[in-house]
Amino acid sequence: MRGLMRETSLSVAHLIYPMFVQEGEQNTPIESLPGCTRWCVADIAAECERLYKLGIACVDLFAVVPEAKKDAQGSEAWNPQGVVPRAIGAIKAAVPGMLVMTDVALDPFNTYGQDGIVKEYADGSYEIVNDETVQALCRQALCHARAGADIISPSDMMDGRVAAIRAALDAEGFTAVSILSYTAKYASAFYGPFRGALGSAPKFGDKKTYQMDPANRREALREAMADVAEGADMLMVKPATMYLDVIAALKENTHLPIAAYHVSGEYLMIKAAAASGWLDERSCMLESLLSIRRAGADMILTYAAPQVAEWLAENSALN
C-alpha cells in the first residue's frame, strides 16, 4: 500500500558516481573517503565495467595530480596525455555505453589549490581572475571533449564560463557534448574530505570570492537564470542535503534537469556514524538520497552509488 502511494522514487538510474584517477599503475584506497579509491587508468576502466553491470550509467572523473605536475597556471588541466583524457579513452573502449562526465576546474592542477587562475600583487594580496580563468577552462573542456567526454561539468563558479565553454565546444563541432553547470555551489566546509582525497585544498585563503554564501537562496536563482541563458543543459546544487530548499527552488523556477551533489562531508558523516555503531548506514544513506530526490533533484552525484546500487537491487519493495 505504501508503495502504491509513494510520491518519490530512488533508482540506480538517478545515480552518478564521482571517481578519482591518478598516474601510475597503483590503486590506492582513500582514507578520508572510506569505500572510494584513487584508480589508475587501466583499472578505472575495469571498475566501470562492474559499475555498468550494477546499472550505474554515468561516472564523473576527477584528476589526482602529483605536486611535480602542478604549476601556477594549472596547465596539466589541458594536457591531452593527462590522466583524465586517458581515463576517458580507456572507459569508452571498455564500456562504450558508460556516460563519461568530467570535472572542469583548476584546483587539482595549480599550485594554489584554487579553482581559477591566481594573480598575486606586490602588497601580498591576491585575486582569482575570472576572465583569464574562463579561457583556461575552455581549453580544459576541449581537451576532455576531444578525448570523448559526454558531459562537461564546470565546478569552478566563474562568471560566464558556461557560454564560453558552449561556444568553444560548438566551434570544434562538439555540439552533442552537454554541459552540467555547477550553478549553485556553496562555499561549504563539507568539501573537506574531498580536498584531502585530491590533495587540492587551497594553499592560502578560501573560495569565498567565487563560491556562494550559504546564507543565500535567491542568489542561486540568479545564477540559474544566467546558466539557462548561457546554454547549460543541466543545473547542479552542491552540497545537497543542507540545500534542499535551493534544489526545490531551482526545480520550480527553471525547466532544466536538476542535479545535486551529495558531497564528501555529507557521505562521511553517515559512514563515520555507522562505523561507530551510532547510525544504520543503509537506511540513513537511502533516506538522505531519497530526500534529495523529493526536493526535486533528477540526478544525484554520490560516493555511495555502487553500494546503493547493490542495496536497491536486493529488494525494491523494502527500499
Task: Report, as residue numbers or ranges, the catalytic residues.
Answer: 185, 238
Minimum CB distance to ligand PBG, residue 191 (Å): 4
Shortest Cβ 58–ligand PBG spacing (Å): 16
Nearer to ligand PBG among residue 102 and residue 155 (C-beta): 155
Query: Closer CB to ligand PBG, residue 30 or residue 309?
Result: 30
Shortest reach from residue 276's CB to ligand PBG, in Å: 21
Q: How far is the CB of 146 from ligand PBG (least distance, A)?
A: 21
Toward ligand PBG, which CB reaches closer, 17 or 191? Answer: 191
Give 40 or 105: the residue with its C-beta nearer to ligand PBG.
105
Chain residues in the site for ligand PBG (CB under 6 A): 103, 105, 107, 115, 155, 191, 194-195, 207, 263-264
Pick 95 or 232: Cβ nearer ligand PBG: 232
The least distance separating ligand PBG from the CB of residue 237, rounded to whole angstroms, comes to 13
Contact 312, 9 (CB under 8 A): no
Q: Which three cell numbers stand for residue 183?
A: 550553478
Cβ neighbours of residue 287 under 8 Å, at least 6 residues apart?
none
Q: How far is the CB of 268 from ligand PBG (least distance, A)?
A: 9
> Residue 63 or residue 95: which is nearer to ligand PBG going by CB?
63
